[in-house]
Amino acid sequence: MSVERFLAHALSPWMKVAGTDDDIVLSSRIRLARNIQDYSFPLLASEEEAAAVVKHVQEVFQTSEEGTLTGAQIIAMDELEANEKRMLVEKHLISPHLAERSHHGLVLLSADESLSVMVNEEDHLRIQCMSPGFSLEQSFQAANAMDDWLESHMTYAFDEQYGYLTSCPTNVGTGLRASVMVHLPALAMTQHLQQILPAINRFGLVVRGIYGEGSEALGNLFQISNQLTLGKTESDMITDLQGVVKQLIKQEREAREALWQHSQLKLSDRVMRSLGILTHSYMIDSKEATRRLSDVRLGVSLGLIDRISLDMLNELVILTQPGFLQQYAQMVLTPEQRDEKRATLIRERLKLS
């Protein structure tokens, strides 16, 4: 089936809904790792075994009751061009690991793109649910509902002592990875982030960049998630993450207020300079673009800028990634050409605001 409707817009429908604390928390995500009993795990499976898993999962999807998967679409990785897969990664609809598969990889995407089920990623199944703002419970309920439905149609690899069995030992147990995407520019500007982020690790949490493990934290965007999946219940893991994120939100708000009270002119100058550069540049690389967009996002949240919406800035973060830039240009681009197209796209979007 066609992937075009998922690539036609940078913002997923669920991202256009206002969320709690969405001036700081962009999104919440729950991911569940599951494997099917009596099948070799993907990292060790032969081509025949991987194909058998795909067939089994497709049969389950096709027997769904009315309403269970309304509007959902199954997309095979081997039917996609390289740039189409890259764009799905940039929208966080699939993982980089699944994008690397050329055979026997699938993803089921819901109509609003808030739910995806990846097949033959690192595990047989990766259930992912995303929601706007600070809404981990909402994401967990949706992921849990899909998990229960799948488990009613297949037998998971499960051990009474260790819980759900997974390819990576760090996912054994609940198989749950809860995360939030946060924007922390004021804490970065006041140098408090250097003390806060290492402390987060002591709570059993990990801080990553916008595209997860191995990615760089650009534009003061950070992904905070649980590190361990064994020894605690799902509820306890989510509660622990919620507690830390609430403190981060509080500290970021306090840092923004302090900057506004004591350095209003300097802060305003920084925000408006970044807006000016974005509005008038003819070449801009990805690091500078995300840094400038971070400044403008802070300016919007503080009320310095009223003609630009957070939705537009969220969209620009995705549109300025390599895959979407190449779709925009309708050609493969060199790094220099990407810098030119990125600047052009940003100028055009900001003029529309």
Name the binding residues.
27-31, 92, 126, 177-181, 208-213
Q: Which residues contribute to the annotated binding site for ATP?
A: 27-31, 92, 126, 177-181, 208-213
Nearest to 91 by CA among 128, 123, 54: 128
CB 281 within 8 A of CB 340: no
Please state whether beta strands 106-109 and 73-76 pair in parallel, antiparallel, or not at all (unpaired). Answer: antiparallel
**What gap in Å lies between CA 234 and CA 230, rounded to an integer?**
9
Residue with tokens 């389950």: 60
Residue with tokens 């310095």: 304
Residue 71 Cα distances to 11, 56, 266, 296, 302, angstroms: 18, 21, 49, 36, 38
- What are the two backbone dihedrals, phi and then psi, of residue 209, each rounded to the nearest 5 degrees? -80, -175
Nearest to 181 by CA among 131, 108, 236, 138: 131
Residue with tokens 């799902």: 234
H helices within 231-320, ranges in order?
A: 234-262, 264-280, 286-301, 310-319
Residue type, 291: R
CB 344 within 8 A of CB 351: no
Handedness of CA 58, 86, 9, 32 (dihedral sign): positive
3-state secondary structure 13-52: HHHHCCCCCCCCEEEEEEEEEECECCCCCCCCCCHHHHHH
